[in-house]
Structure 1
Amino acid sequence: MATVIEGNRTAIDPIALRRAFGTFVTGVTVITTVDADGKPRGMTANSFSSVSLDPPLLLVCVNKGALSYPAFCGSDRFAVNLLRDSQIDVSNLFASKAPDKFASVSYDVVHTGAPVLTDCLSWFDCTTYERVDAGDHTILVGRVQAFGTSPSAPLGFCRGRYAQVKDPLPPGWLSSTNMIVGYLIEAQGEVLLVADGNGGWVLPTAPRKLVNGRLPVEGGGELSLMSDDTFLYSVFDVAGHDSGYLIYRARLAEPRGALTLPPGFCFFAPSELPYDEIPSTEVRAMLRRFVRESENGGYSIYVDSPDGGRLATVGTAQPWVRNAQP
C-alpha cells in the first residue's frame, strides 16, 4: 500500500506513516538527564542513531509532548541507555507516566552527572552538543564523554512491538580492551567451578554485574551472593586471548542444601580441585594462591604486569563501612 503526493494535494496519513516508519527494526533506549532541581528524569525512545566518530557524536529525537521534554531542553547533559533483551519491564516503566521511574532501577553517575542505568546493554554519557528543531520532535545531538557495553542480547522493536534479535555477538566482536568477569565463589570451604564442555573446568562468568545480591551466570540461572563479602581478587591477561580477566572472590548467601545448581556447576574441596583439567595456566595459579591464602586467613589482590605482576596484601575481608557524609 502506497501513499503518493501529487502537487501537494494528497495529505500524508500520520497513522499509516507511523506504521511505515515502524517497519524499520530498531533497538530500545532509555534516555536520562537531570532537571533544574537535580532530579533524575528519563523516557523510553527508539529514535537513536550514531552520528560521528570524530568528534564522537550521537543523536536521539525527543517528543515535544513528553513530560520529560523540558528537562532535556534545559540540561547540558544526558545519557542514552540501550536496553538488553530481558528489560521490557524497564522500557515499559520509562514509557509510562510513573511519578518516580528511578525508584525500582539501579543507576549511577559516571562522567557528566546524568543517570546511567547500571544493568543495561550499552550506555553513552553525553554533554549536549546541539539541539535541532524538527517538527513535533527536537533532535538532541550529544557528544560522547564516556561509554560502556556488554555482550548481552539487545532488545529490539518493530511494528509497534518488541522483537528478538538473534546472534548478537559474532566471533571476534570483543576488542582487547574488554574484560571477562569471573567469580571465585566459596561455600562451606569449597570452590564452585563450571564444566567447559571440553572435559575441563573454568570459573563461573557472568553476562552482567551483580544486582541486588543476585548474580546471573552464563548458561542460565542466578546465584545469591553476599554483597558485603564480594571483593576484587585478581586482574590478569590470558595468553592467546584478546580479553583480560577480572576475578572477584565471593561467598554464597544461601545454604548449599537449599541451592539448585545450574547444569555443569560443581563444588570442589580445596584438596580435590582438578588443576590438571583447568586449561588456563593463569587460573590454575590463581586457585593455588587462593588455597594458600585461605589456610592463612589473609588475602591479596593480584594485578598482572610484564615483569611478573604485583600482589597487594589486604588481609582478612571486612564488611563495607559507608563513609559519613560531611
Structure 2
Amino acid sequence: MTKQAATKDAPIDPIALRRAFGTFVTGVTVITTREADGTPRGMTANSFTSVSLDPPLLLVCVAKSASSYAAFTAASCFAVNILHEGQVDVSATFASKAPDKFQSVNHDRVHTGAPVLTDSLTWFDCSLHDSIDAGDHAILIGEVRAFGTSPTAPLGFCRGRYASVKDPLPAGWLAAQGMIIGYLVEAGDGLLLCSDGKGGWVLPSARRRKADSQLVLDGGDALRLVPEETFLYSVFDVADSDPGHLVYRARLAGEGAAVSLPEGFRFFPIDDLPYEAIATHELRAMLRRYVQERQAGRFGIYMDSDDGGRVAMIDGQARAWLQASDQGQ
C-alpha cells in the first residue's frame, strides 16, 4: 500500500490525494438549480451524502472553480438527481460545457422549482438549509421537500471512470401494487379533481377498471356517468412509484342538475387546471394533452413506452358496435 503523510517541507500531494479519494466507489449525481431569471443550471457531481432523517437533510459539494458555482451558492433551492446505469450520456453532458444541457433530458418542477430530472434513478428536491465554505468547495446542505425513486440499477464511479454496480433488488423493494384506475370526469366545461390530502390534486380513482352508469369512488360515494361516453384514454407507469395507471375519460350524467360532490372533490375549468399542484409530471403531461385534444375535438389513446409513448388517434363519433359491424358488412 502506498503511504503519504504531510511534513513541514512536503505537504500532501493534491493529485495523489484526489486519486486516493477516487478509490471510494460512489454513485453519480447531477445537481440542478435555477438562476434568478429562471435559467436552469446543472453539473455532474459525486460528492453527495445523506445527513439526517429528522429533519431530512443531505449535502453536496460544489467546487469554486465550477462554472455553475455562483448560481448554486446564490440559489435558495436545488435538486440532486442520482443517475442510473443507462445515463452515462447524461453524466457526460452535465460534466461538459454544453450551452444547453437540459435540451436532451426530461425535467420538471416538483416542489421548490429546481429542475428535477424525471428519468433519473432517484431525485431529491431540496430547499437550502445551510451553506458552508470549505476550502476550494462550498458545502450545500439541503432539506428534502420531495423525492422519488425507481428500481433501476445505479451508475457507479471509481478511480476516475464509470463502474458497473451489481444491484439485485432486495425482496419487497417497491413491491407491485396493481393498477391505479383514474377518471377524467367532465361536466360542462369543468374537469373533476380530488384532493390528495397534501395540498395537491389528483384524478378521482376507483377500484373497478371501468364504470358503466356510475363511478364508485374509493371513499364509497358514487357519481352517475353517461355510459356511452366512457372510454379508455391512457395507460402509463410513473417512474417514482410502482403502480401503473389506467385512465378513462367520462362525462357526468345530468349536468344541468346540481351535483353534490364528496368532500375534497372539485370541478376545475378545463382551461384553468391547477397544473402546479398536480402530483406527478406524467399526470400533468396527460392533462395538458387531454385539454389540447378536447379543444380539437379529436381524442387519442396513449400507451407508455421507453421512447416517450405512443398515441393512436381516434376519428369520428362513437357508435354502438352492432351498428358499426352491420354497416361494415
Unaligned runs of 5+ in 2: 182-202, 234-248, 250-288, 296-329
Cα offset for 1:5?
2.5
2:108 matched residue in structure 1: 108
Q: Give the aligned partner of residue 27 of structure 2.
A: 27
Distance of aligned partners of 1:31 and 1:311 in 2 relative to their CA distance in 1, 3 Å threshold: farther
Kindly, what percent of the aligned residue pairs are identical? 60
Judge conservation of contact 2:180–2:205 (CA < 8 Å) in 1: no
Q: Deviations over 1:24-46 (max 9, x none)?
A: 11010000000121100000000
1:59 & 1:130 partners in 2: Cα distance? 9
SS of residue paired to 1:70? helix
**Aligned positions, number:** 217
Alignment match, 2:56: 56
TM-score, normalised to structure 1, is: 0.59
Distance (Å, rounded) in 2 between the aligned partners of 1:100 and 1:21: 30
1:8 corresponds to: 8
Rate the CA distance shift 1:6–1:30 in 2: closer, same or farther, 3 A.
Answer: closer
CA shift, 1:66, in A, is: 0.8
2:156 — aligned with what?
Answer: 156
Return the alpha-carbon distance in structure 2 between the equivalents of residues 302 and 81 of structure 1. Answer: 39
Is 1:136 the counterpart of 2:153 in the alignment? Answer: no
RMSD across aligned C-alpha pairs, in angstroms?
3.2
Q: Against the structure 1 CA distance between its residues 172 and 39, is the aligned structure 2 distance closer, same or farther, given a 3 Å change threshold?
A: same
- The C-alpha deviation readout for 1:202-243, integer Å capped at 9, x for no partner, is xxxxxxxxxxxxxxxxxxxxxxxxxxxxxx89666xxxxxxx
Q: Decide whether aligned partners of structure 1 residues 6 and 152 sit closer, same or farther in structure 2, where only a CA change above 3 A counts.
A: closer
On the 8 A contact 1:4/1:10 being kept in 2, the answer is no
Cα-to-partner distance string for 1:91-140 (whole Å, 9 max, x where unaligned):
00000000010111110001100000111111100011111111111111
User: Alpha carbons of 1:92 and 1:19: their partners in 2 closer, same or farther (altered >3 Å)?
Assistant: same
**Closer, same or farther in 2 for the Cα pair 1:173/1:158, shift >3 Å?**
same
Q: Partner amino acid for 1:57?
A: L
Matches within 5 A, 1:92-107: 92-107=92-107
**TM-score, normalising length: structure 2:** 0.58
Task: Please tell me whether residue 320 in structure 1 is matched to residue 290 in structure 2.
Answer: yes
For structure 1, list consecutive stretches of 5 or more residues without a partner in the other structure. Answer: 184-231, 237-284
Contact 1:19 1:159 in 2 (8 A): yes
Deviations 1:278-316 (A, max 9, x none): xxxxxxx74xx48xx6xxxx9x877645x6x86785734
2:147 corresponds to: 147
Aligned to 1:204: none
Return the alpha-carbon distance in structure 2 between the equivalents of residues 37 and 173 of structure 1: 40
Cα deviation for residue 14 of structure 1 reads 1.6
